[in-house]
Amino acid sequence: MQAFTQVSGTVAPLDRANVDTDAIIPKQYLKSIKRTGFGVYLFDDARYLDRGDLDIDVATRRLNPDFALNQARYVGASILLARENFGCGSSREHAVWALADFGFRAVIAPSYADIFYNNSFKNGFLPIVLPADVVQGLFEALAAQDGYTLSIDLPAQTVTTPDGQPFNFEIDPFRKDCLVRGLDEIGLTLQHADAIRDYEARRAAEAPWLFAS
C-alpha cells in the first residue's frame, strides 16, 4: 500500500451532500475486481453525457463540460473537497479504488459514511474530517482562486491553506501509523512473517499428521 505522509496539491470541488458510492462508481463497473483502471469511470453519471460500461471505449464518450473534474482548472487535482455524508450507500470498495486511480490522495468533508471511511484507510486513501464551517470556507476560497491548493501533513494532522492557515484534524492513532508506514492488513500480517514461519515449523514437528498431503 502506498504510504501517506505529506501531500500538497490542487483541490477539486464536489459541492453536494450525501454523495453515494453508486455516484462515485456506478454498479456496471463492479464486474471488475482489478483495483486499477477505475479512474476513467469516477463520478461517471455526472462526468459524461452518455451512459458507459466496461465494453464501451471511454474515448468515444461525451464529457459534461459543467462537471468540475472536466474543467481545466481542476486537471491533476489530488485533493477532493466534498460535503457531509460522503460515500454513503452500498459498501463497494471500488469507490475508493476509483478515487485513488483518478489521482486523488485524500478527500476533505464534514462527515463520511462508516463503510467508505473504513475502506479508505485499507487502501492508502485519507478521509479528513473538518467542521462544516471550515469546509464552507474552503469551498469559497476554491471558487475564488484558480489552481487553489492545500497541503496535508498527516504526521502533524494538519491541512494548511496557501496563506499558511492550518486546520487540525483528528485520526485514530493506529490508522495513522498504518498510513504513514504504508501498511494494509496484509502488510501488517507480513510484519510477523518470521514468527509465522517458526510457528508453522514447530507445529509440523509436533503434529506431522496435520501436514500430510
Radius of gyration from C-alpha coordinates of the chain: 20
Half-sphere exposure of 18 (CA within 13 A, CB side): 0
Q: Are residues 170 and 189 in the same domain?
A: no
User: What pLDDT sits at residue 207?
Assistant: 85
Q: Are residues 44 and 77 in the same domain?
A: yes
User: What pLDDT sits at residue 174?
Assistant: 95
Q: Which regions in the chain score pLDDT beneath 70?
A: none
What is the spatial distance between Cα 182 and Cα 179, in angstroms, rounded to a whole number?
5
SS3 166: strand
What's the number of domains the chain is made of?
2
Q: Are residues 68 and 33 in the same domain?
A: yes
Range of the domain at 189: 183-213
User: What pLDDT sits at residue 79?
Assistant: 98
Total-model pTM: 0.89
Contacts of 181 (CB under 8 A, 6+ apart): 3, 187
User: What pLDDT sits at residue 205?
Assistant: 83
User: What pLDDT sits at residue 189?
Assistant: 73
Cell matching residue 91: 459498501
